[in-house]
Amino acid sequence: MILGVGLDLIEVGRFERDVARHGDGFLEELFSPQEIAYCRGMRRPYPFYAARFAAREALVKALGTGRGGSMSWRDAEVHKEASGKPFLLLHGETQRVADLMGVTRVHLSLTHTEEYAGATVVLEGEERQR
């Protein structure tokens, strides 16, 4: 059963300006060290950062919670399977909320161009409570 769907679209340039304004601490607040290393390894890292941020926004939309309470941006990490397929690894309060909802699978799709980055999250499972 589909428990939630979230979609987010981000302007890459705006995200890049936010990083320039707030510095590396901004990235460290949002992303895991592995995600930062992955993005920095790219010729143009900002579309990759922006897509990962969009994944977090799409996730909280799919959960239906917004990013409130004790949920942290770093409670979700984007990783890739050997095939290149992206997936979300949940931690902390975000994992607890997903468990309470009955989420058993989290599907993630990412896309980006030089100008925009987007993500879609679909939550699958057996509904428990909202």
* Active-site annotation, residues: 61, 112
Amino acid at 98: A
Two structure tokens written together for 46: 């900002």
The crossing angle, in degrees rounded to 10, of helices 92-101 and 46-63 is 40
H runs (alpha helix) in 1-130: 12-22, 24-30, 33-40, 46-63, 92-101
3-state secondary structure of 52: helix
**Contact indicator for 49, 15 with CB cutoff of 8 Å:** yes
